[in-house]
Chain A
Amino acid sequence: MIGNSLRWEMNAFVGFIERQKNLYRRYWAWEAVWLLYNLVSVLSIGYLASGLSSLGLENSRVNFQQTQLYLLIGALLWTYLSMVFFEVAFAITWERWEGTIEYTFMAPIRRLTHLLGMCAASLIYGMLRAAIIGLALVALFRLDLSGANWPAALAIFAAATLPLLGLGIFTSVLPLLSPEKGEQMAFAVQGVLLLISGVYYPISVLPLPLQVFGIISPLTYTLDGVRQALLHGLSLAQALPDIGILLLMGIILVPASVWCFGRAERRAKRLGLLKRSG
């Protein structure tokens, strides 16, 4: 009985990944435009760092190559993190836009399967896109990653997945609460994360109240940890505190966000918001 139920849910889980793959393929022109946009954004940050040396800072103690790496790692990670966040957060908006929200919500599957399926598809696609941009960076910039500790960086990156998905699911609740304004609110959340998580600067430069928010953002630990591992060769043992914090955040955020989603779904059913037009 449990085996059958698990098989049923696994089948649906694969269905969501398969569906997203088909959608990405069918909307290939959009996807190509977004990829180009992401690539150009990351390259701009890289060239901005290159240009620092011609802005009269030559004699300062700035290590331009380290600065460029610092910014490029931030830009690449943000591209990946924001893309995964966007895909998960817009899971509901997309269904509403396509007019399939009722069909998906009346399917005989657990909501957790639905959300995890969307998350898995986003992670796979996000990594693929980040890898393409990463390859372009390696080709265009002479990046010195000789001192990088890749296992530590990958471990932090993997640990960041859980809290990132938790944040994404939390944000996907917004379009359930407000069909009209939920989408814009998701963009606002993404903007706040960019500001407080130290994507292009250490959070210590932020005013104190924003630093507090930065400390509770999982992206802060992801960016900081990956940078330390790639720039300064942070060992796996040294990365354990960051990994631990990220896992703890994930353990709290994922169940909390799924619970919140369930509450929001019940509210939407009570108010009649679970339809195409809201």
Chain B
Amino acid sequence: MAIEAKELSPQAVEMRGITKRFTQRRRWLIGGPRGKEKRALDGVSLQVESGRITGILGANGSGKSTLIRVLATLLTPDSGTASVFGYDVVSQPADVRRHINRVSVEASFFKEMSPWENMLYAARLYGSGGQGTRGRVEAMLERLGLPLDTLDKPMKQLSRGQQQKVAIARSFLTSPSLLLMDEPTTGLDPRSKREVQELVRSIRRDRAATVLLCTHDLQEAEVLCDRVVVIDQGCVLADGTPAQLIREHGIEHGTLEDAFMRLTGKRLEEDEEKDE
């Protein structure tokens, strides 16, 4: 299943002027209120190089998940173009899907089924699942520190941290060239969070995969990401290495959090001025 890196474009992700609006549906009755429009992405342009961990930082509702869903071919943008390893997400979704996998904040599992049954299903969808899959799954879960007796228990009996580890193991099983991680550590206890973060590091170290990590945990972004893109209200506010962002937008001896607060705070003031 794994696609050789040499076959792929060096640009893992390329987005140009992506806009996505959501309109609250109108009531059918005549005279009902007009649909309210929300701009989730507002002309986002972004390039992500292969083999790196890029963080997408933003507050809740900033457009992070919309961006991930566009790249995952689950959402069609209103305008602009987006491609993954040179394949267009709208016109070549099948090619895009062969190269990606996603770990989301919500555990996307059949909760009554066991980790093994969920992973076997995933393996089948991604072209494997025959002999040897059980061995691969066991080895993977062992590496992630999951006791093997959890393999056949229903997912619902596993802790959130364990479920998230299974989600990451499932994505490893399909050997994605681009891993889309949408707040993978949200809601985890400190120990599970640290373990998941270590896994993310190992993806780049061992697999040479590209990771797009959406988070609102600034500390996490600072320690994990090679590059950080800050978005707010669907717009890219800043783009650079954590050190660059701290230098350019933060305070002296400050953190990424300081830079983020200044960036998004400035934006808030600009919006207030516009409203006035």
Which residues of the partner chain B approach A269 to less than 8 Å between Cβ atoms?
Answer: 73-76
Which residues of the partner chain B approach A110 to less than 8 Å between Cβ atoms?
Answer: 94
Interface residues, chain B, with chain A CB atoms under 8 Å away: 20, 22, 66, 69, 72-76, 94, 97-98, 100, 102, 104, 106-113, 117, 120-130, 154
Name the one of B22, B72, B113, B128 contacting A106, with C-beta atoms under 8 angstroms.
Answer: B72
A103 to B97, CA, bound (A): 11
Which residues of the partner chain B approach A102 to less than 8 Å between Cβ atoms?
Answer: 69, 72, 74, 102, 104, 108
Q: With A15-B129, A19-B121, A108-B125 in contact, do A274 and B107 touch (Cβ < 8 Å)?
A: no
Q: Which residue of A lies closest to B98 (CB)?
A: A108
Name the one of A14, A106, A272, A274 contacting B124, with C-beta atoms under 8 angstroms.
Answer: A14
Quick one: which of A20-54 are within 8 Å of B by CB? 22-23, 26-27
B109 touches A106 (CB 8 A): no
Which residues of the partner chain A approach B127 to less than 8 Å between Cβ atoms?
Answer: 8, 11-12, 108
B110 touches A15 (CB 8 A): no
- Greatest chain A CB density within 10 A among B22, B76, B120 is at B76
Which residues of the partner chain A approach B22 to less than 8 Å between Cβ atoms?
Answer: 271-272
- Greatest chain A CB density within 10 A among B22, B76, B125 is at B125
A106 to B113, CA, bound (A): 20
Tell me, rounded to whole Å, the shortest Cβ–Cβ distance linking A223 to chain B: 35
Quick one: which of A234-278 are within 8 Å of B by CB? 266, 269-272, 274-276
Q: With A26-B154, A106-B73, A269-B75 in contact, do A15 and B113 touch (Cβ < 8 Å)?
A: no
A18 to B122, CA, bound (A): 11
B109 touches A272 (CB 8 A): no
A106 touches B76 (CB 8 A): no
Tell me, rounded to whole Å, the shortest Cβ–Cβ distance linking A32 to chain B: 14
A107 to B120, CA, bound (A): 14
A108 touches B104 (CB 8 A): no
Q: With A22-B113, A23-B112, A106-B100 in contact, do A15 and B121 touch (Cβ < 8 Å)?
A: yes
Q: With A11-B124, A15-B125, A18-B121 in contact, do A103 and B108 touch (Cβ < 8 Å)?
A: yes
Which residues of the partner chain A approach B73 to less than 8 Å between Cβ atoms?
Answer: 106, 269
- Greatest chain B CB density within 10 A among A15, A98, A104 is at A15
Name the one of B75, B102, B107, B120 contacting A272, with C-beta atoms under 8 angstroms.
Answer: B75
User: What secondary structure prevails in chain A residues at the interface with B?
Assistant: helix
A11 touches B113 (CB 8 A): no
Q: With A11-B127, A27-B112, A106-B97 in contact, do A18 and B120 touch (Cβ < 8 Å)?
A: yes
Q: Which residue of A lies closest to B21 (CB)?
A: A272
Name the one of B74, B100, B122 contacting A275, with C-beta atoms under 8 angstroms.
Answer: B74
Tell me, rounded to whole Å, the shortest Cβ–Cβ distance linking B87 to chain A: 11
- Greatest chain A CB density within 10 A among B110, B122, B128, B129 is at B110
Which residues of the partner chain A approach B124 to less than 8 Å between Cβ atoms?
Answer: 11-12, 14-16, 18-19
A27 to B117, CA, bound (A): 14
Apart from A26-B117, A100-B110, A108-B125, 16 more pairs, CB < 8 Å: A12-B124, A14-B124, A15-B120, A22-B113, A22-B117, A23-B110, A23-B113, A98-B111, A99-B107, A99-B109, A106-B97, A107-B97, A107-B125, A269-B75, A274-B74, A274-B75
B98 touches A106 (CB 8 A): no
Which residues of the partner chain A approach B120 to less than 8 Å between Cβ atoms?
Answer: 15, 18
A259 to B97, CA, bound (A): 21
Which residues of the partner chain B approach A100 to less than 8 Å between Cβ atoms?
Answer: 108-110
In the complex, A105 has a CB within 8 A of chain B: yes
Which residues of the partner chain A approach B69 to less than 8 Å between Cβ atoms?
Answer: 102, 272, 275
Q: Which 10 A-B pairs have the closest CB atoms?
A: A15-B124, A108-B97, A107-B125, A26-B112, A103-B108, A108-B98, A22-B117, A269-B76, A19-B121, A270-B76
Which residues of the partner chain B approach A107 to less than 8 Å between Cβ atoms?
Answer: 97, 125-126
Which residues of the partner chain A approach B97 to less than 8 Å between Cβ atoms?
Answer: 106-108
